């Protein structure tokens, strides 16, 4: 599944992110599919992330920033809602709000 590859890219991208040294680095601790697991047009992913701070991170999918409506904060985690992607593989990146975006892929 192309979306699954994109979401797993979050995991690898977050492990070595060169972020501002004064802040706790973003670290993805848990990633799992949530919501309607059988839906094919829309997928939801639940992420537990350390180092989020007060704001939401900027998310890039295939070089384009995802709208803020695609991401929702839930306690110490995030819920990411993606629609089906036509390409077999996509690039994914993220950064803290107000910081330069980190792109992967």
Token digits for 41? 């047009």
Going through the chain in order, the beta strands assigned E by DSSP cover: 27-34, 42-50, 58-61, 64-65, 71-74, 77-83, 92-95
CB 64 within 8 A of CB 77: no
Cα distance between residue 62 and residue 55, in whole Å? 22
What pLDDT, on the 0 to 100 scale, is given for residue 42? 83
CB 25 within 8 A of CB 48: no
Whether this prediction's pTM lies above 0.85 is answered by no
Domain residue spans of the chain: 2-95
Question: What's 2-95's CATH class?
Answer: mainly beta
Cα distance between residue 79 and residue 71, in whole Å? 6
Q: With bands split at pLDDT 50, 70 and 90, how would you rate the model's confidence at 6?
A: low
């Amino acid at each position: 599944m192309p979306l699954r590859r994109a979401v797993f890219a979050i995991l690898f991208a977050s492990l070595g992110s060169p972020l501002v040294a004064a802040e706790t680095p973003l670290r993805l601790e848990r990633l799992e599919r949530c919501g309607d697991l059988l839906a094919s047009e829309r997928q939801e992913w639940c992420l537990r992330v350390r180092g989020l701070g007060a704001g939401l991170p900027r998310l890039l999918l295939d070089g384009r920033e995802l709208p803020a409506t695609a991401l929702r904060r839930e306690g110490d985690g995030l819920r990411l809602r993606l629609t089906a992607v036509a390409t077999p593989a996509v690039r994914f990146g993220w950064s803290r709000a107000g910081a330069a975006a980190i792109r992967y892929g």
